[in-house]
């Protein structure tokens, strides 16, 4: 009986012990991890894309592009982008291998020169094909590439969302930090603010027109990147998403880059 009373007393003390609160860093990582986990298992995909470059005066130039992606188990995704129009960029192809920890690998095939050019890791903050997207913006989202901090709950377009700060951990990033809005319902990234090396506001990326594929995988069909410092913006409009194309590593290497059509 005495032992039972002691055990009950111990349980009562444990019940009243304060529960250690989750830190903002732990919660931020938890949210990002859940967002990544919900999109695993898509395999491969292909899509058509229209890229609209718009200057601060509203003048536009339009490009027609095709994209292909391959999910890689235990590593970052592989991506291939092929330009079809206009004539001056036709045949240009971009290949990207994302890695969680080591430097990403990227190559560009330039048909005018008939050669493949490797994109230096020191140039990852440079603009991609004259757009407001940098080369580093074109890699897949991998958890170890950032450190995280939960900033609080918020709302975006009437939807409840988490606000998470992300600090790049890879070398030569053009950003000191990013602030992401991730909706609570599906853990989709809805908006990202980018801050330059001086920690000044640089760009905002907005994701819209999400559609569900394979009953699990959400894809934004419109991505708009606005540069607050130049007044320029780039709009990517996706269509004709296709999954389970049977792509393999052989479809994403330097040897096939020149033949990408």
Residue 7 domain-assigned?
no
Residue 131 domain-assigned?
yes
CA atoms within 13 A on the CB side of 238: 20
Residue 16 domain-assigned?
no
**CA–CA separation, 213 vs 44, rounded Å?**
12
Q: What is the CATH number of the domain that holds 66?
A: 2.50.20.10
pLDDT at 4: 47
Residue 5 domain-assigned?
no
Domain count, the chain: 1
pLDDT at 19: 53
Domain of residue 127: give its range. 22-257
Residue 152 domain-assigned?
yes
pLDDT at 225: 98
Question: What's phi and psi for 143, nearest 5 deg?
Answer: -55, -45
Tell me how far apart the 2 most distant CA atoms of the chain are, in Å: 90
Residues in CB range of 169: below 8 A, 6 or more apart: 144, 145, 146, 147
Q: For every one of its 261 residues, what pLDDT tens digit does the chain have, with 9 covering 90 and above?
A: 444 454 444 454 445 445 568 999 999 999 999 999 999 999 999 999 999 999 999 999 999 999 999 999 989 999 999 999 999 999 999 999 999 988 999 999 999 888 899 998 777 888 999 999 999 999 999 999 999 999 999 999 999 999 999 999 988 899 999 999 999 999 999 999 999 999 999 999 999 999 999 999 999 999 999 999 999 999 999 999 999 999 999 999 888 787 776
**CA–CA separation, 127 vs 131, rounded Å?**
6
Residue 70 domain-assigned?
yes
Residue 126 domain-assigned?
yes
Residue 14 domain-assigned?
no
């Amino acid at each position: 009986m005495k032992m039972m009373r002691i055990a009950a007393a111990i349980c009562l003390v444990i019940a009243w012990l304060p529960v250690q609160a989750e830190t903002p860093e732990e919660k931020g990582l938890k949210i990002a991890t859940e967002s990544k986990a919900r999109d695993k298992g898509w395999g491969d995909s292909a899509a058509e894309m229209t890229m609209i470059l718009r200057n601060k005066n509203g003048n536009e130039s339009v490009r027609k592009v095709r994209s292909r992606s391959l999910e890689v188990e235990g590593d970052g995704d592989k991506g291939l982008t092929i330009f079809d129009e206009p004539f001056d960029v036709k045949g240009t192809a971009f290949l990207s291998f994302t890695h969680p920890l080591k430097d990403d690998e990227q190559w560009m095939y330039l048909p005018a020169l008939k050669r493949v050019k490797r994109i230096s890791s020191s140039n990852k903050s440079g603009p991609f094909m004259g757009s407001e997207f940098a080369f580093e913006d074109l890699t897949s989202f991998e958890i170890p590439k950032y450190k995280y901090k939960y900033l609080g709950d918020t709302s975006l377009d009437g939807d409840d969302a988490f606000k998470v700060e992300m600090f790049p951990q890879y070398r030569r990033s053009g950003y000191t930090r990013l602030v992401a809005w991730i909706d609570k319902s599906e853990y989709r990234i809805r908006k990202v603010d980018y801050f330059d090396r001086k920690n000044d506001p640089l760009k905002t990326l907005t994701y819209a027109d999400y559609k569900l594929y394979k009953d699990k995988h959400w894809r934004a069909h419109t991505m708009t990147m606005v540069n607050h410092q130049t007044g320029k913006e780039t709009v990517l409009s996706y269509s004709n998403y296709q999954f389970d194309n049977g792509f393999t590593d052989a479809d994403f290497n330097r040897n096939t880059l020149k033949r990408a059509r």
